[in-house]
Structure 1
């Protein structure tokens, strides 16, 4: 995949286009600037090739994992349908592990405010009975992150608290109803076990290799 853009391809012979879009005659460009340009474009070309290979690798791995899961299920005469979830596959000797992970992006609709109102009613009563630790947990859950977004993990974590107050239970129902899945991202992670038995990732991130 060539790094040159269609605009660069349309530049007349004997010229190069600079960063401001101007056409500059080749004979007016310093040799070191030409070398730098060619060097950068060669790296970009190689990076684009690797990106395409990784994209193909990801697509192939997802297809092959899905096919393997279906083949494995046939042993039990089961037809797997619907949305595919996370899958962990381990080599026979336990040295390697492949994980297909699907991470959903979750937001809350307006019903989250109804849940917070019910929870606030509970807190007003409970704090009078010296239960500040619950108030701290709840108030922290509804704090927004640095981007101003509700932290979904903390809010959903409230449902794990063993509280039987009817208002609290209605609030947990409202939280469940408020959940909206707005998208998902799929990942493939590959691990190798070290001498201590820990699975360490085989990194496909250029910054980590």
Structure 2
């Protein structure tokens, strides 16, 4: 149901203006009911997925702790930090847990940018405009004012032997800061071991 003015009973629109229910078109009322029904279902489904995700992580952690005990290792001192893959006995189902670090860059990134600028200036005749454009765009910020870490790290793939370029790559490594870590869990199945695994999509956009 749309937001209602408590005093008048009017439906409130996007401008917070009230309209008597009898003056609202039938299709608008149907749309309002449809959107609210779907949103309610989506919220319930999201809550179910969150519970499943939490439970899945707990069960895999319990299994890993059991392994540690079997090999006489202290679970408190040897927590699961790396990526692991669990397969069923037949090799037709697997669960993958991956840990990804969120990275940022400190002020030395700008030093690296200046080094790269010097390098490109010295290589003006030999550097293609496309590479220069890609490198420049790597340092652009998004709408939130943040640098795209993947684009910065992708610079390390360029086969450029210029001393200032190599120095810039070292400075980039020194500028990296780990600001957080997130664990992901994914589920796969296949009919036979000679087939490729297929991801079980739990994302509506990918379903």
> Where do 5+ consecutive residues of structure 1 fail to align?
none
Equivalent position of 2:205 in the other structure = 207
Partner of 1:104: 101
In the other structure, the counterpart of 1:180 is: 177
Unaligned stretches of 5+ in structure 2? none
Contact persistence 1:112–1:174 (CA under 8 A):
yes
Please show how residues 113-152 of structure 1 align to structure 2 within 5 Å: 113-118=110-115, 127=123, 140-141=134-135, 143-144=137-138, 147=142, 150-152=147-149
CA displacement, residues 43-97 of structure 1 (integer Å, 9 cap, x when unaligned): 2222111011011111111122222112112222223445723222111111111
What is the DSSP-based 3-state SS (H/G/I as helix, E as strand, rest coil) of the residue aligned with 1:85?
coil
Q: Which residue of 2 aligns with 1:60?
A: 55
CA deviation map 1:76-124 (0-9, x unaligned): 2223445723222111111111112222221211112333445566667
**Cα distance, 1:36–1:161 mapped onto 2, change above 3 Å:** closer
Larger displacement relative to structure 2 (48-57 or 65-74): 65-74
TM-score when normalising by structure 2:
0.69
Q: Is the 8 A contact 1:163 1:169 kept in 2?
A: yes
Contact map agreement 1:192 1:200 (CA 8 A) in 2: yes
Report the Cα distance in structure 2 between the residues aligned to 1:146 and 1:83, rounded to whole angstroms.
Answer: 34
Alignment of 1:41-56 (within 5 A): 41-56=36-51
Which deviations, in whole Å up to 9, do the C-alpha atoms of 1:148-204 show, x marking residues without a partner? 754433544566789999876654443222111223333221111255521111111
Does residue 77 in structure 1 map to residue 72 in structure 2? yes
The structure-2 alpha-carbon separation of the partners of 1:116 and 1:38, relative to structure 1 and needing over 3 Å to count, comes to closer
Deviations 1:1-60 (A, max 9, x none): xxx69x65x847x945332352635x6656655444433322222211101101111111
Q: TM-score under structure 1 normalisation?
A: 0.68
Q: Is the 8 A contact 1:110 1:178 kept in 2?
A: yes
> Could you tell me whether the CA contact under 8 Å between 1:88 and 1:100 is conserved in 2?
yes
8 Å Cα contact 1:138-1:158 kept in structure 2: no
Counterpart secondary structure, 1:204: coil
SS of residue paired to 2:204 = coil
Structure 2 counterpart of 1:90: 87
> How many angstroms apart in 2 are the aligned matches of 1:39 and 1:68?
43
Relative distance call for 1:114 and 1:53 in structure 2 (3 A) is: same
